[in-house]
Structures are given as structure tokens and as C-alpha cells.
Amino acid sequence: NALAKQHGKYIGTATNSFNLLGNNPGGAYLDILRREFKGALTAENEGKWDAIHPTPDQYNWAGMDAIVAEARQSPEKVFVRGHTFVWHAQTPAYINQMTDPEQLKSALRDHAMNVAVRYKNDWTYLDAINEPLNEDGTLRDSVWHRVLGEDYLEIALNIIHEAAPSIKLCINDYNIEGVNAKSKGMLAIAKKLLERGAPLHCIGFESHFIAGSMPQDIAASMQQFTDLGLEVPLTELDVRVRVTGNDQASSADLAVQANDYRTAVKTCLDNRLCPGVTVWQFYDPISWIPSLTPGWGAATPYDANFLPKPAYEAMREAL
Ligand code: XIL
């Protein structure tokens, strides 16, 4: 992050409040987070609707409050990213079961008036809408799409912006990092929203890559959005490799992975409207990848002994 700052960018990480206690995972985690990745923080799970607002009258503030407190401790600006409001996953049953448009809109308004307003001075960005697209670029099924129709993105952005106008609102998704059907769908949506004057400020490229097959046209895809004046951060970067046994990767694969980390960081550096890069945890043993895709892992820049991998060196070199 210190190197990124010299270019006006940040390097950040996803984390959890329990990761910040110093005993889970322990070791050098907190030191490394503070030294290397504290340009930006995203709550890996504790800002999601099911975690922070599981029933209509219940709010769990402790997790997000702890992450925000960690950010506030810094003398320098830490870009805390709110994650996430409108999504098809990790959303509580009371929302998913709604069928009445007015009821769903008022639930979102209530959520925004409580959650976004509470963090309005802390969150620079919010993933207002997460993962709205199918792979073919059409709108994915969700309670939001079903109940509010295809205008749901505009409706949601307006409701959230009205509650907390200082927060930059983003649409965040994966597999839009290359020029393909999905990113074309996102581009069409972004253009339409901007034409209609909707409060959309950024498109998040999640950037969950497979070593050796990250899209080589990521800079071109990014530029399609930044040409519209939108910011495009990399929001959830990790690069998985094949692993055996105890998350063991080959050194050949780790070299390919390092190259992908280098490309990702360089792409951000080369585009004025990419504010920075956030990794989705930086320490292999607590990455979400092995549980998502068994047989794959070692996706972050630090290994199980808290030693920097070639991926870390490649990020440094790119900066
Ligand atoms: C993942 C978390 O890392 C896991 O701990 C959780 O079990 C599932 O969600 N896209 C997103 C993130 O926007 O919120 C997801 O995070 C990873 C994919």
C-alpha cells in the first residue's frame, strides 16, 4: 500500500472483525494487514444483509463497527468499502419472501436509513448492487428482479443514494474483467443508468481469477467503463491454483499466479479511474477458495507460514 499510495492508489484487503483480534488467525496476520494492506478494508461477510440485519428489527453492528474502528485508527485515509446491499445471496428470508414492490422498496429504504446512514462517514464506496448478471449478460433471478422488474437497479441506487448521498455507489460482479457477453451486458446497464441520471459511480471488478487464465484484455474491459467516467476498482482479487493435500501448490503454478497478480495491479496503475486493488484476504489458510472449489487454493499473496509468495513480490514489482 505504501508503494501504491505514491501513485495515488490503494492496496486493500477483505477481512473479518474476528481476524482483527490478533488471535484468529494469529501469527503475523494483523501486523501484515496493517503494514501492507491497510489502504482499503472490506468486510468479508459482516456487512452483508443476513449478517448485519438478519430480521426486520435486529441489527448486528459489532462486526462492521470493529472494521470501521480499525480504519479510523489510521492517521491516513483508509477506503472502507460497504459490502453489500442488493444481492441474490446472503440475504435473509424476510426479504427473499417479499412479493409486494412497495414493501420491498420500503425494506431497502429502512436498511439504507439504518446501515448506510450509520457508516456514511466511513464508507467511501458501497457495493449497492452485487452480482446482478448471468454469464450471458442478462439480469439474474433474485427477489429484487422478480418483485421490482428490470428497473430494480435504478430504483435501488436512487433509494440508497437518497439515504446516504456521500457514499459512492457501485455495481460489483465477477467475470466482467474481460470483454465478453457478461461485461457487455454490464456496459449496457451502466450506460442506461447514467443516461437516466442514476447515482452510479463505479463498477467493481471482483477479479477471482484462475492462474494462467485471467482475461488478457482486462485493461480494455476496464477502459470501456472508465470511458463513461465510472471508477473501476478491483474489489476481490485472488488467483487460485491447483493444490494437493494441505493447500500445496507447485512452484510453476505460483509463478503463473504471480504473473496474474502483476497484470492485475499494473492494469489498475495504468488507468486513472481505477482507485485501487483489494485482495480477498491475503493469507492462504483463511481464503474462501478451498471451500468453494476443492482441489484449488493457495490463492492469496501469503502462504501458511506468513511468508510472502511470488505473487506478493510481483505486486511490489508492478508498483
Ligand atoms: C464470500 C466469502 O468470502 C465467504 O466467506 C462466504 O462464505 C461467501 O461469500 N463474491 C462476493 C463476496 O461478492 O461477498 C463473496 O465472499 C465471494 C464472491
pLDDT score at 52 = 99
Residue of 36, 44, 131, 177 with catalytic role: 131
Question: What domains are defined for the chain?
Answer: 2-318 (3.20.20.80)
Is there a catalytic annotation at residue 131? Answer: yes
What is the per-residue pLDDT across 13-43, written as a single tens digit (0 to 9) for each?
A: 999 999 999 999 999 999 999 999 999 999 9
CA 168 to chain CA centroid, Å, is: 14
Q: CB-hemisphere CA count at 13 Å for 47? A: 32
Give the chain's radius of gyration (CA, Å). Answer: 19
Give percent of the chain above pLDDT 70. 100
Can you tell me the mean pLDDT for 216-231?
A: 98
pTM over 0.95: yes
Residue type for 200, please?
A: L
CA distances from 31 to 20, 54, 75, 303 (A): 10, 32, 16, 15
Nearest alpha-carbon partner for 200 in 159, 154, 236: 154
Task: Tell me how long the chain is.
Answer: 319
The residues lining ligand 1, judged by C-beta closer than 6 Å to any ligand atom, are: 44-45, 130, 206, 236, 288
What is the C-alpha to C-alpha distance for residues 108 and 218, in angstroms, rounded to an integer? Answer: 33
111 C-alpha to ligand 1 centroid (Å): 20
- Name the average pLDDT for the chain: 98
pLDDT band per the 50, 70, 90 thresholds, residue 245:
confident
44 CA → ligand 1 middle, Å? 6
- Give me the catalytic one of 36, 46, 154, 236: 236
Q: What share of the chain is helix, strand, coil (3-state, %, to 5)?
A: 40, 20, 40
Which residues on adjacent β-strands are paired with residue 234?
Answer: 205, 277
Cα(45) to ligand 1 centroid in Å equals: 7
Tens of pLDDT, residue by residue over 185-202, are 999 999 999 999 999 999
State residue 41 phi and psi, 5-degree precision: -130, 140
Over 90: is that where the pLDDT of 246 sits? no
pLDDT at 86 over 90: yes
Condensed to tens digits (0 to 9), the pLDDT of residues 153-162 reads 999 999 999 9
The model's confidence at residue 247, banded by pLDDT at 50, 70 and 90, is confident
162 is an active site residue = no
Structure confidence at residue 78 (pLDDT): 98
- The strand ranges marked E within 121-275 are 123-130, 168-173, 202-205, 208-210, 234-242
Q: Decide if 170 contacts 202 (C-beta within 8 A).
A: yes
Burial 49-81 (b: 16+ CB within 10 A, else e): bbbbbeeeeeeeeebbebbbebbeeeeeebbbb
Q: What pLDDT, on a 0 to 100 scale, did the predictor assign at position 36?
A: 98
* CA–CA dist 73, 175 (Å, integer): 35
Q: Crossing angle, helix 152-163 and helix 181-195, to 10 degrees?
A: 60
